[in-house]
């Protein structure tokens, strides 16, 4: 049976910092960011936005089209957890008006967990083909100020409907996995920003790619040449370029540098101007490929490399379906990105440092977001969300 992504939509905040502004304040050459890491802008969440509001915004267009009744399970992937116990998806379930018979669960393994959610969703649908599973990945990437990671912040959420006979991408059952207990990037419960051993993390990423690919080759007949395009986890877009060059080297691919670049270029556009969105980033990359590639991708095979620090990695594949273009949300996404406002460095700092109360005292949050959902207050340690 064919199972995969039936519809896909993403959301990012209305605010961004141009990395030139950051570079000027730091006295760094902006080309280090524009060319060196391949990033132009980074999205900054408004004070009344978090992973819940971003997730609901990302999923709303899907619910408006297919209705909530068909959704049997909502899987919420994030590494920006807002609660140690309650799944963030339960708030989203209410905001989207899903049925009370829909199960909700939150999943975590750094940037990888949306892929685990998709594989599990495919298994659920294979068992009950009349059901649809809503997978949402939502994250706010935060590093300490004045660290090498600062320029790789960002925020975003992506919502994907997993169903039988999907209209966008069919996902193949063969996967290659790699897991290793390493400390390349992590965030202990008591910290709001990630700790990272930056250079080491890029080495582990590339090592995991090699290992996951080799494992994939043991179970799949597909070879490097069978893939027209590739989507990589995107902490910053240059990482995908390094990864793709490595994969081509491993496979002794006889492609020119330009041909290799063409296989990933369209997947990078959105991430370059949104920044890292952890669990969501590879799937925003997929959206970018589908919506920006001029060529008709129907029938084309896509290779996916999902990486979550710590680390768990997976290589898998998908085939683009005939007529996929008519189910995309291209216009909505481009309007959302065009409507964003640039912030100054001081405004960026204010967004970065907005109050994050932990003592249970009443905190009313000003209305800043331009999205359809917002976090209104935190009272008695309870977060209150509304639809606008
Ligand atoms: N013009 C053009 N290029 C320039 C330049 C200039 N003026 N100045 C520097 N560069 C280039 C450098 O040559 C380098 O390119 P190469 O890697 O191809 O050599 C690039 O810009 C970056 O420069 P540095 O290596 O000096 O950068 P850095 O050490 O300050 O920071 C980083 C790089 C360590 C990756 C940092 O961005 C970081 O810590 N990021 C967060 C961690 C991360 O994203 N890791 C990725 C793997 S882990 C993962 O994927 C999970 C996740 O989501 C976090």
Atom of ligand 1 nearest to the CA of 242: 18
Closest CA to 175 of 133, 115, 93, 134: 115
How many angstroms separate the alpha carbon of residue 126 from the centre of ligand 1? 41
Cα 265 to Cα 249: distance, rounded to the nearest angstrom = 18
Ligand 1 atom 28: the closest Cα is on which residue? 148
pLDDT at 245: 97
Cα 75 to Cα 73: distance, rounded to the nearest angstrom = 6
Query: Does the pLDDT of residue 355 top 80, yes or no?
Result: no
Let me know: does 315 contact 303? Beta carbons within 8 Å: yes
Q: What is the pLDDT of residues 47-84, one digit of tens each?
A: 999 999 999 999 999 999 989 998 999 999 999 999 99
Q: With a 6 A CB cut-off, is 360 part of the ligand 1 pocket?
A: no
Q: What number is the average pLDDT over the span 367-383? A: 96
How many angstroms separate the alpha carbon of residue 370 from the centre of ligand 1? 32
Q: With a 6 A CB cut-off, is 107 part of the ligand 1 pocket?
A: no
Ligand 1 atom 38: the closest Cα is on which residue? 149
pLDDT at 357: 80
Q: State the pTM of this model.
A: 0.98
Helix 237-250 to helix 198-219 angle (10° resolution) is 40
Q: What number is the average pLDDT over the span 233-257? A: 97
Cα 40 to Cα 237: distance, rounded to the nearest angstrom = 10
Token readout for 334 is 């481009």
pLDDT band of 360, cuts 50, 70, 90:
confident
pLDDT band of 359, cuts 50, 70, 90:
confident
Q: What is the pLDDT of residues 195-218, one digit of tens each?
A: 999 999 999 999 999 999 999 999
pLDDT at 272: 98
Selected catalytic residue, list 49, 155, 231, 233: 233
Q: What is the pLDDT of residues 296-354, one digit of tens each?
A: 999 999 999 999 999 999 999 999 999 999 999 999 999 999 999 999 999 999 999 98
Q: What number is the average pLDDT over the span 120-142? A: 97
Q: With a 6 A CB cut-off, is 113 part of the ligand 1 pocket?
A: no
Q: Which of 235, 274, 279 for mutating ligand 1's site (highest number of atoms within 8 Å of CB)?
A: 235
How many angstroms separate the alpha carbon of residue 242 from the centre of ligand 1? 11
Mean pLDDT over the full length of the chain: 97
């Amino acid at each position: 049976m064919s199972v995969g992504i039936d519809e896909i939509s993403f959301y990012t905040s209305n605010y961004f910092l141009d990395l030139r502004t950051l570079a000027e304040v730091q006295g760094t050459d902006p080309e280090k960011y524009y060319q060196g890491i391949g990033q132009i802008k980074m999205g900054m969440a408004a004070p009344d936005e978090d992973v819940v509001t971003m997730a609901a915004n990302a999923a709303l267009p899907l619910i408006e089209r297919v209705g909530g009744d068909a959704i049997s399970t909502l899987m919420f992937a994030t590494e920006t957890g807002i609660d140690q116990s309650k799944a963030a998806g339960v708030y989203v379930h209410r905001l989207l008006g899903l049925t009370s018979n829909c199960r909700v669960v939150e999943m975590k393994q750094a940037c990888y967990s949306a892929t685990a959610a998709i594989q599990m969703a495919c298994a659920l649908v294979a068992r009950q083909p009349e059901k649809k599973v809503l997978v949402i990945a939502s994250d706010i990437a935060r590093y300490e100020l004045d660290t090498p990671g600062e320029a790789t912040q960002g925020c975003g959420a992506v919502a994907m409907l997993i169903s039988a006979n999907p209209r966008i991408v069919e996902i193949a059952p063969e996967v290659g996995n790699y897991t290793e207990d390493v400390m390349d990037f992590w965030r202990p419960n008591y910290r709001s920003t990630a700790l990272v051993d930056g250079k080491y993390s890029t080495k582990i990423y590339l090592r995991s790619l090699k290992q996951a690919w080799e494992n994939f080759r043991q179970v799949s007949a597909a070879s490097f040449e069978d893939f027209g395009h590739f989507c990589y986890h995107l902490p910053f877009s240059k990482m995908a370029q390094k990864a793709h060059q490595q994969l081509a080297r491993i496979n002794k691919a006889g492609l020119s540098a330009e041909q290799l670049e063409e296989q990933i270029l369209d997947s990078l556009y959105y991430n370059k101007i949104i920044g890292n969105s952890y669990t969501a980033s590879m799937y925003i990359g997929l959206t970018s490929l589908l919506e920006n590639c001029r060529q008709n991708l129907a029938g084309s095979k896509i290779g996916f490399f999902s990486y979550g620090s710590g680390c768990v990695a997976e290589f898998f594949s998908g085939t683009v379906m005939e007529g996929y273009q008519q189910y995309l949300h291209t216009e909505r996404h481009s309007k959302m990105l065009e409507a964003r406002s640039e912030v100054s460095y001081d405004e960026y700092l204010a967004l970065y440092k907005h109050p994050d109360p932990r003592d249970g005292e009443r905190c009313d949050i000003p209305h800043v977001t331009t999205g359809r959902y917002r976090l209104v207050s935190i009272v008695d340690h309870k977060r209150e969300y509304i639809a606008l």
